[in-house]
Homo-oligomer: A and B are copies of this chain.
Amino acid sequence: MIRIGLIGSGFIGKAHALAYRTAPAVFELPADIRLEMLADVDAATAASAAERLGFARSTGDWRALVEDPDVDVVDITTPNHLHEEMALTAIAAGKHVYCEKPLAPSVEGARRMTAAAEAAGVKTLVGFNYLKNPITTLAREIIESGEIGEVFGYRGTHFEDYMLDPETLVNAWRLDPAAGDGVSGDLGSHAISMARYLVGDIVAVSADRHTITTERPAGEGATMRRIDVADALRATVRFAAGARGTLEASWMAPGRKHTITAEVWGSKGALTFDFERLNELQLYRTGQQRGREGFTTILAGPAHPDFAAFVPAPGHQLSFNDLKTIEVRDLVVGLSTPSAGCWPDFREAMEVQRVVDACIVSDRARAWVDLGDI
Task: Give residues in A with beta carbon < 8 Å to B.
Answer: 11, 14-15, 17-18, 21-22, 24-26, 28, 52-54, 138, 148, 152-153, 155, 160, 162, 164-166, 206-208, 210, 212, 232, 234-236, 238, 244-246, 248, 250, 252-259, 265-270, 275-279, 283-284, 286, 288, 290-299, 301, 303-304, 310-322, 366-368
B315 touches A311 (CB 8 A): no
A266 touches B290 (CB 8 A): no
A125 to B114, CA, bound (A): 52
Chain B neighbourhood of A295, CB < 8 A:
255, 296-297
Q: How many copies does the complex hold?
A: 4
A303 to B294, CA, bound (A): 12
A314 to B290, CA, bound (A): 12
What is the distance, in angstroms, from A46's C-beta to the closest C-beta of chain B?
A: 15
A21 touches B25 (CB 8 A): yes
B294 touches A255 (CB 8 A): yes
A310 to B18, CA, bound (A): 9
B304 touches A291 (CB 8 A): yes
What is the distance, in angstroms, from A48's C-beta to the closest C-beta of chain B?
A: 10
Known contacts being A314-B258, A319-B322, is A244 close to B297, with CB within 8 Å?
no
B232 touches A208 (CB 8 A): no
Contacts A252-B265, A313-B320 supplied; 18 other A-B pairs, CB < 8 Å: A18-B26, A22-B22, A164-B286, A165-B286, A208-B236, A236-B236, A250-B265, A253-B270, A254-B269, A255-B293, A258-B315, A258-B316, A294-B297, A316-B320, A317-B318, A318-B320, A321-B322, A367-B368
A315 to B293, CA, bound (A): 11
A153 to B253, CA, bound (A): 8
